[in-house]
Chains A and B, each alone.
Chain A
Amino acid sequence: MSDLLKFDLLSASIALKNKEFSSLELTNAYLEAIEQTSALGAYLEIVKDHSMDMAKASDKNIKNGTARPLEGLPIGVKDMFCTKYIKTTASSKILDNFCPPYESTVTQNLWDDGAVMLGKLSCDEFAMGSSNETAAKGNVVNPWQKNSKMSPGGSSGGSASAVASRSALAATGTDTGGSIRQPAAFCGITGLKPTYGRCSRWGIVAFSSSLDQAGPLTRTVSDAALMLNSMAGHDKKDSTSANLEMPDLMNYLDKGVKGKKIGIPKEYTQDGISDDIVKFYQKSINWLKVSGAEIVPVSLPHTKYALPVYYIIAPAEASSNLARYDGVRYGKRNEAASLDEMYEITRGNGFGEEVKRRIMIGTYVLSSGYYDAYYLKAQKVRRLIKEDFDNVFEEVDYILTPSTPTTAFELGKKQDPLTMYLNDIFTVPASLAGLPGISLPVGLDKSGLPIGIQLIANSFDESGLISTARVLERSAEFNFIADGAAK
């Protein structure tokens, strides 16, 4: 099959501009790859004609010398992003037939920069999950050891599976408590969650509004920089969008880490973390040290409270955000005699089990008599978690942690909601503090599954995050390809 699949986002963009091949050829190679890997279930919607039209338009721009930064590069979109007149379901039955009459700001930014859309990617329902098993249309399969059916992680499981299986050159994701970084780690690719406010949330299906943030899932750190350059930017339509210029991240690929201080938090080396991950965590520390960074032990004392805080705040915000699915203005409706019954039956049938569980928790912690004890308490501890990071960033430039306590697990193996929640133990703290984080693959465990390492930076220091991640990437030389990848 196609040699074209070997190019990553950056090298494909250079090859397109050098006219080594056309965007239409590249796009067709990916459309074939999508067919070849369809058993993984990454795509919910393929928009072949639309992709080819976009590719042809890109080829014209390249020919005319008016190529934009992502001109002609075929990418996938997580189904949490509203795409104009293209079905957007957030992997939920309740939005089964929803075709938004508008485009999310982030995806519009990508199309304005010339990217070609391949289709919509599966995720956990309303991005609530860590295994992609809560998707209404069923789970996605991790392309690594595809025969033993490992979870791709979640919630951006479709995005991670597509990039790792080479059925998308790159993909968008959203991250509320780890939904970009954890699936990236499970699938052996790079996933970047920017600072809260860096990417507009306008047109992204809302889950937990004080935490949701869009970001790229890509093959390399340079690709993440290239893609985030286009995704980020101030947007008047999102009142929490930061009115702050982001420097061109491509200028930071080779800045290195000489003289930088890397914090190693003692709270992130707990029981239950796999030996192979500990080993590669140590290796990563050494790589940074050898490259000229200073390693500094630090402490984030409230780390253990991050998950309990998250599982109050995220469901609370979700219960309020998901009130809009009422069977009146859009989405599915189940008929009933009265308005209240119609709401209850529509929502009872339309939402899956995990979403209902979180709406119930959220409603409970916000209900009269419990608000102070749960919700307000969680917001207070959230401040302490953020202050932990503020204090540590007085001393160090970046924080290095494992991305996940284990590598990918088998689909269907984690039935208890709490066990599932523990997956996000290393990613949730940075989310609560609104900090940017990146997960990149640094090695394989004994059974051949990818291991991810996470770097966390201070607010709006995506450029430094990229420089540091590039050092790790070059040291790790992770050149493995998933056995389930398109050939």
Chain B
Amino acid sequence: MSNKESIVDIPTVNKIARLSRLNIPDASKQNLTNDLNNILGFVAQLDEVNTSDVEPLASVTGHKLPLRSDKVTDGNIEDLVLKNAPESSSGFFVVPKVIE
């Protein structure tokens, strides 16, 4: 992360916003860029730590993820599943048209 290309500019903010599916108004882009640079600058102090022989830690529990048999345990609750949908029709979620 010490490489200097990692500094965020407005085109990077546009790219990240696109990947995040977030609409960011032009007026807030400069502030957001500054905030991101400050935060990324702060976390860059991890560079000081030698981690060449360290395994990444993804879980603190140390336990093996339990498996269960691949069986249906509930269901037949279509109404409940759709109840909170902004738009639904005939048992389906409705989204804007994706094909021309």
Contacts and interface: CB of A to CB of B under 8 A. Distances in A.
Nearest to B5: A369
Given A332-B86, A339-B98, A417-B38, A384 B59 contact: no
Given A302-B49, A330-B84, A374-B1, A357 B36 contact: yes
A130 to B, nearest CB: 15
A161 interface: no
Contacts of B43: 308-309, 311-312, 374, 378
Interface in A324-372: 326-333, 335-345, 347-349, 351, 356-357, 359-361, 363-364, 367, 370
A373 B5 CA distance: 12
Interface string B1-25: 1010010100011001111111111
Given A196-B61, A342-B96, A377-B46, A383 B56 contact: yes
Contact of A417 (B39, B63, B80): B39
Given A344-B22, A364-B36, A384-B49, A311 B42 contact: yes
Contact of A240 (B22, B59, B87): B59
Interface string A204-218: 000000100000000
Interface string A417-429: 1100100000000
A357 B32 contact: yes
Contact of B61 (A99, A302, A383, A434): A434
Interface in B59-99: 59-61, 63, 65-66, 68, 77, 80-81, 83-87, 93, 95-96, 98
A329 B21 contact: no
A360 B61 contact: no
Nearest to B64: A239
A17 interface: no
Contact of A373 (B3, B61, B77): B3
B39 A386 contact: no
B36 A361 contact: yes
B57 interface: yes
B60 A343 contact: no
Nearest to A310: B43
Interface in A312-331: 312, 319, 323, 326-331
A384 B54 contact: yes
The 5 closest A-B pairs by CB, nearest first: A348-B23, A434-B60, A379-B56, A330-B84, A333-B86
Contacts of B68: 236
Contacts of B25: 348
Contacts of A333: 86-87
A382 interface: yes
Contacts of B65: 239-240
A243 B95 CA distance: 41
Chain A interface size band reads: 35 or more
Contact of B39 (A319, A351, A361): A361
Grouping DSSP codes into helix (H, G, I), strand (E, B) and loop, the A interface class, with mixed when no group exceeds half, is: helix
Given A101-B80, A344-B22, A305 B95 contact: no
A33 interface: no
A93 to B, nearest CB: 14
A98 interface: yes
Interface string B28-64: 0000100110111011111001010011111111010
Given A196-B61, A308-B43, A364-B8, A345 B23 contact: yes
Given A367-B19, A382-B57, A384-B51, A328 B93 contact: yes
B39 to A, nearest CB: 6
Given A347-B22, A348-B23, A99 B83 contact: yes
Contacts, number: 175
Contacts of A376: 56
A433 interface: yes
A142 B32 CA distance: 29
Given A382-B57, A383-B55, A328 B49 contact: no
22 contacts: A99-B84, A196-B60, A236-B66, A308-B44, A311-B43, A327-B86, A330-B85, A332-B86, A336-B96, A338-B96, A338-B98, A344-B22, A356-B24, A356-B32, A360-B32, A363-B19, A364-B12, A367-B19, A370-B1, A383-B55, A384-B49, A417-B35
A278 to B, nearest CB: 25
B42 to A, nearest CB: 6
Nearest to A240: B61
A382 B42 CA distance: 16
A210 B39 contact: no
Chain A CB within 10 Å — which of B24, B49, B77 has the most? Answer: B49
Nearest to B13: A360
